[in-house]
């Protein structure tokens, strides 16, 4: 498959969202019990997918397969196993689809990514759920906790970043709260 350009992906994503009147994104927010306008997850998703694509390119990879996975309707996504939904510090939300190995998603890089349009840096928490909306199994929860921990600890020490997992916060999903501990060290 030839590499998709980000601009083409964005046009297609926006077009499908408009044709659907944002129903897929609205339902996704409801499934997480989030009362937010679906436009916030539309715009946030585009910004986060753009950031992920940039990090893949910086690392010398091809972001075409990652973009191909980012379909408007997760059911249509080839190879997508999980949907990560990020809270961009309450300013927006973003949904990123990933395969079982979580390739293309660098949580540590995203945590420090500047989102100038929102005047924030990174995210404060996120949910992980299966793209097909079935509930996560116990062994998946354990594996996901390990993968998230390995990703974040690669760049951040325990003194810099704290994070907590909660599989009872949202039914069928894993909730991850992330907190910058450097702010508390300065007080």
The tens digit of pLDDT for each residue in 29-47 reads: 999 999 999 999 999 999 9
Q: How confident is the model over 66-122, as pLDDT tens digits?
A: 999 999 999 999 899 999 999 999 999 999 999 999 989 999 999 999 999 999 999
Contact by Cβ (8 Å): 148, 111: no
CB contact at 8 A, 124 and 178? yes
CB 127 within 8 A of CB 175: yes
The string of pLDDT tens digits covering residues 136-173 is: 999 999 999 999 999 999 999 999 999 999 999 999 99
CA count, 13 A, side-chain hemisphere, 102 = 18
Sorted by where each begins, the domain ranges of the chain are 6-185
The confidence score (pLDDT) of residue 78 equals 82
Cβ–Cβ under 8 Å, residues 161 and 149: no
- Per-residue pLDDT at 2: 41
Distance between CA 178 and CA 165 in Å, rounded? 9
d(CA 142, CA 62): 29
- Angstrom distance (rounded) from CA 102 to CA 149: 13
Is a pLDDT exceeding 70 seen at residue 1? no
Distance CA 3, CA 120 (A): 30
Whole-angstrom CA distances from 34 to 5, 85, 107, 124, 126 are 31, 11, 22, 15, 12
Token pair, residue 49, equals: 């997918």
């Amino acid at each position: 498959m030839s590499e998709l350009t980000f601009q083409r992906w964005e046009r297609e994503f926006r077009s499908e969202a408009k044709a659907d009147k944002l129903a897929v994104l609205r339902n996704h927010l409801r499934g997480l019990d989030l009362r937010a306008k679906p436009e916030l997850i539309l715009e946030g998703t585009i910004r986060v997918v753009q950031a992920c694509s940039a990090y893949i390119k910086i690392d010398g990879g091809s972001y075409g397969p990652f973009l191909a996975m980012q379909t408007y309707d997760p059911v249509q996504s080839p190879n997508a196993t999980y949907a990560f939904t990020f809270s961009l510090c309450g300013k927006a939300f973003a949904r990123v689809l990933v395969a079982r190995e979580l390739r293309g998603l660098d949580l540590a890089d995203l945590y420090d990514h500047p989102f100038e349009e929102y005047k924030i840096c990174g995210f404060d928490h996120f949910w992980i759920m299966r793209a097909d909306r079935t509930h996560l199994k116990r062994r998946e929860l354990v594996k996901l906790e390990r993968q998230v921990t390995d990703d974040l600890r690669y760049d951040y020490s325990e003194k810099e970043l704290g994070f907590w997992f909660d599989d009872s916060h949202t039914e069928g999903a894993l909730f991850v709260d992330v907190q910058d501990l450097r702010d508390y060290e300065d007080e």
